[in-house]
Structure formats: structure tokens, C-alpha cells
């Protein structure tokens, strides 16, 4: 009798047969998170993020998306898109594996069958009309694996706060140069009528999800950006992942005026979204940086990932940390040209990280 082939490809996490996703210590890799994205229709038909799950039910799973655009990825490939277009070659659809709208490093395979799943994925990629395949925000120990399948490795960077076993926020400030510490203390002073409160676990309520959605929309409006998420997503994710979400609320005269949402696991805090209905100096720094640092220190989390962009993070204790992605292109000419592009880009990023690191605010003899 021939052995039964169990690996399958489905477009909904509920069909994947994976029952243990919620035991994973990454909030973004729980079935609850993916189900919330699907049920709120933030991913799926018409969104540009059509999920595919390749699974050996109950044993292993990987995730990817059929993309017809590049929004919400944070590893930018617009130059590649334009080059394809200028040569009358279609860049879309493509395959992209990452947590949607979320620039955090996570595993891309769950379970023990990465080789089998990757071989199935590669066959799926080759058999369909995809220009390219992309795995974004890779863990360092995944890099050799993707190279073995012919992928080009690309370097990027983000800003992370590293908790050096600080006892409190003030002990963190003592590691900074005096002028920088003084600047941060000054930035944390607000009028008497302004207060801040953190919510997580049982204190996190559906009304906070509705509230955060309104703040999120205010940021989208100010930046003239795309609202990838909707109210249903915020309400459901605040309910389902309440033990992995931190919501920080700013109040003025006891009325909410701003908020920031973070995700966290046993080791890391991930800054995600913020917004404010009222402009106030230093409010962004308090909600998005200092409240997160305090939470890390209090809960003994080792790293606070504040995402990419924003050199102002450096003077507030966030270090430039290299991140990785892997890319493959069916067109041999473009695969070769982009390989050279990535090689040149890597040298530039090395120089940029070295330059940015010279601006860190820490006392030199403690962090040399």
C-alpha cells in the first residue's frame, strides 16, 4: 500500500488542520490572529492578500500570500516593480510570506517538516504564474535554509530597545549621557490634566478596540495612508489576544485623546499602531516609546521592537538592528540584476548602520 500524502494547500487557517497554533509563543502566529484577519476581511479576496497555508495537518504549517500589490510589506520592492513595468513584464501576482501589515521577525515554518513543506511551496510557485517569491523578516537561523533553495538574501534594519536588566525607567536613563537623559525626562513632563494608563489581560475591553480603531484612523488620515485594518479587527483581536496585547491610553481631563497598541510574548514587545485626536508636543514619544520601555522593564522583556524608519528613535535608546529577507525571481535576467542590486544595497546598509550607531546616546564605556 502506498503511503498517504497528507500535505495540502488551503486558503483558510480553519481548514489547515493545525490545532496547536495558539501554543506558539508568537502572538502573530496564533490561529486567533490569522482568523481575526480573515473574519474581519483584512485579508482575503479583494484585499491584495490572498492567503495560502501549506500544511501537514497536526504536524507542520507554513503561510504565504498571493499578492497583486506591495502595500503593507515594509520591505520595499517598488524599484523592482517599476523595472518590470518598464520592460513590459508583469511583476504581479507574486508570492510573499510575512505577517500581514506587521514588520516583525517571526518563524515562517511551524512544526518539523520545513523541507517537505518548502518543496511543496516551490512546486506551487513554479506551476503558477507568479513572477517571484519573497520571505520577509526572517529569523537569522533560517537564512541558510532559503539560500539552499536558490533565494537571494537581502539586508534591512529596524530600531530595537534592548533591556539590560534595568530595574526601572530611571535606571535605563542612568545608562545615557547626561544631556540625553535630561532631554527624555523633559519630554515626559505633561500638563496636570493629562494622564496615561496601560491595559492588558482582563482590563482590556471591546470598547478599547473601538477606541484604538478611531485613533488608528486619525494617523491614517494625517499620513494620507491606506487603512489596512478595520474596526472589526481591533475589537476581535483585543478580545482574542488580550493576554498578548498592551493598549496605552492617553487622557486629558479624563477623556481619551490618544492611544497606542503593542503586542508582546514572553520575551519581546512589538510596537504596532498609534493615533491621537489632539496634537500635543511629545505625546508620540510617550505613547510609542517610553510607555513601551517601561512595560518591557516592568515585565522583564528583553527586546522592544519599534519597527523601521525614524532616526529620532536613536536618541531615545533604540539601536539599529539588521533584519533579513529572501527573494527569488523567475526571470533569469531580473534575478541576476536584483542580485547585484541587493549586493550593492548591503554595503550601503552596513555603512548606514555603523554611522547611526555612532549617534547612540549611551555612555560609551558601558556599551562599547
Taking only the tens place, the pLDDT of each residue in 115-138 is 999 999 999 999 999 999 999 999
Mean pLDDT score, 316-331: 97
Could you give the CA distance from residue 46 to residue 263 in angstroms, rounded to a whole number?
27
Specify the 3-state DSSP secondary structure of 36: helix
Among left, alpha and beta (phi > 0; psi -120 to 50; other), residue 16 is alpha
pLDDT digits (tens, 9 = 90+) for 180-205: 999 999 999 999 999 999 999 999 99
Judge residue 347's burial from the number of C-beta atoms within 10 Å of its C-beta, 0-12 exposed, 13-18 middle, 19 or more buried: exposed
Share of the chain above pLDDT 90, in %: 86
Same fold, 8-159+321-357 and 164-301: yes
Cell of 259: 492611544
316: CB partners within 8 A, 6+ apart: 184, 285, 289, 290, 361
CB 271 within 8 A of CB 305: yes
Q: At what angle do helices 231-240 and 31-39 cross, to 10 degrees?
A: 160
Q: What's the mean pLDDT when you consider all of the chain?
A: 93
Instruction: Give pLDDT tens digits for 33-76.
Output: 999 999 999 999 999 999 999 998 878 899 999 999 999 999 99
Confidence band for 366, pLDDT divided at 50, 70 and 90? low
Domain ranges of the chain: 8-159+321-357, 164-301
Cell 554611522 found at: 355
Establish whether the linkage from the previous residue to 93 is cis, with ω within 30° of 0: yes
Per-residue pLDDT band for 264 (boundaries 50, 70, 90) equals very high
pLDDT at 310 (0 to 100): 84
pLDDT tops 60 at residue 2: no
Measured in residues, the chain has a length of 368
CB 278 within 8 A of CB 268: no
| Predicted pLDDT of residue 3 | 47
- Nearest 5°: the CA angle 56, 57, 60 is 50
The pLDDT, as a whole number, for residue 22 is 57
pLDDT of residue 19: 63
How far is Cα 41 from Cα 48, in angstroms, rounded to an integer? 11
Residue 298: CB atoms within 10 Å: 13
Q: Is the dihedral of CA 213, 215, 219, 224 positive or negative?
A: positive
Tens of pLDDT, residue by residue over 73-83, are 999 999 999 99
Contact 221, 261 (CB under 8 A): no
What pLDDT is recorded for position 4?
Answer: 46
Half-sphere exposure in the Cβ direction for 89 (13 Å, CA): 18
Q: How far apart are CA 216 and CA 218, in angstroms?
A: 5
The phi and psi torsions of 138 (rounded to 5 degrees) equal -85, 150
Q: Which CATH number fits domain 164-301: 3.40.980.10, 3.10.400.10, 3.40.630.30, 3.90.380.10?
A: 3.40.630.30
Per-residue confidence (pLDDT) for residue 112, from 0 to 100: 74
Q: What is the DSSP string of 156-215?
A: EEEEEEE--S-SSHHHHHTTB-HHHHHHHHHHT---TTEEEEEE-GGG--HHHHHHHHHH
**CA separation for the pair 202, 166 (Å, rounded):** 27
Alpha-helical regions (H) of the chain:
31-39, 78-86, 114-127, 143-147, 169-173, 178-187, 206-223, 231-240, 283-285, 291-298, 332-357
- The grid coordinates of residue 210 equal 473601538
pLDDT of residue 24: 75
Give the separation between CA 198 and CA 250, rounded to whole angstroms.
9
pLDDT of residue 1: 39
* CA 365 to chain CA mean position, Å: 32
* Cα distance between residue 368 and residue 163, in whole Å: 16
Q: What is the pLDDT of residue 129?
A: 96
**What CATH number was assigned to the domain covering residues 8-159+321-357?**
3.40.630
Amino acid at each position: 500500500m502506498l503511503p498517504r500524502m497528507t500535505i495540502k494547500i488551503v486558503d483558510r487557517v480553519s481548514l489547515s488542520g493545525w490545532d496547536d497554533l495558539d501554543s506558539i509563543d508568537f502572538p502573530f502566529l496564533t490561529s486567533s490572529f490569522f482568523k481575526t484577519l480573515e473574519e474581519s476581511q483584512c485579508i482575503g479576496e479583494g484585499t491584495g492578500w490572498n492567503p495560502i497555508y501549506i500544511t501537514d495537518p497536526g504536524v507542520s504549517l507554513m503561510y504565504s500570500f498571493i499578492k497583486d500589490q506591495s502595500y503593507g510589506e515594509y520591505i520595499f520592492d517598488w524599484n523592482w516593480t517599476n523595472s518590470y513595468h518598464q520592460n513590459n513584464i508583469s511583476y504581479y501576482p507574486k508570492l510573499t510570506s510575512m505577517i500581514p501589515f506587521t514588520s516583525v521577525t517571526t518563524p515562517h515554518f511551524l512544526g518539523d517538516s520545513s523541507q517537505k513543506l518548502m518543496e511543496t511551496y516551490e512546486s506551487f510557485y513554479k506551476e503558477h504564474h507568479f513572477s517571484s517569491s519573497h520571505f520577509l523578516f526572517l529569523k537569522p537561523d533560517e537564512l541558510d535554509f532559503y539560500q539552499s533553495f536558490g533565494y537571494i538574501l537581502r539586508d534591512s534594519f529596524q530600531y530595537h530597545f534592548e533591556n539590560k536588566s534595568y530595574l526601572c525607567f530611571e535606571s535605563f536613563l542612568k545608562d545615557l549621557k547626561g544631556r540625553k537623559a535630561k532631554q527624555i525626562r523633559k519630554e515626559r513632563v505633561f500638563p496636570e490634566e493629562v494622564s496615561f494608563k496601560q491595559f492588558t489581560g482582563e482590563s482590556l475591553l471591546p470598547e478599547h478596540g473601538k477606541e484604538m480603531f478611531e485613533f488608528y484612523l486619525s494617523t491614517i488620515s494625517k499620513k494620507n495612508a491606506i487603512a489596512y485594518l478595520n474596526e472589526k479587527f481591533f475589537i476581535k483581536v483585543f478580545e482574542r489576544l488580550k493576554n498578548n496585547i498592551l493598549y496605552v491610553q492617553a487622557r486629558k481631563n479624563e477623556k481619551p485623546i490618544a492611544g497606542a497598541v503593542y503586542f508582546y510574548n514572553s520575551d519581546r514587545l512589538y510596537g504596532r499602531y498609534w493615533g491621537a485626536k489632539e496634537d500635543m508636543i511629545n505625546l508620540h514619544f510617550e505613547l510609542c516609546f517610553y510607555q513601551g520601555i517601561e512595560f518591557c522593564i516592568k515585565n522583564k522583556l528583553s527586546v522592544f521592537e519599534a519597527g523601521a524608519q525614524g532616526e529620532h528613535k536613536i536618541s531615545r535608546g533604540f539601536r539599529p538592528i539588521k533584519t533579513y529577507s529572501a527573494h527569488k525571481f523567475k526571470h533569469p535576467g531580473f534575478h541576476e540584476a536584483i542580485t547585484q542590486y541587493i549586493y550593492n544595497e548591503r554595503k550601503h546598509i552596513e555603512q548606514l548602520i555603523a554611522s547611526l550607531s555612532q549617534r547612540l546616546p549611551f555612555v560609551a564605556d558601558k556599551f562599547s
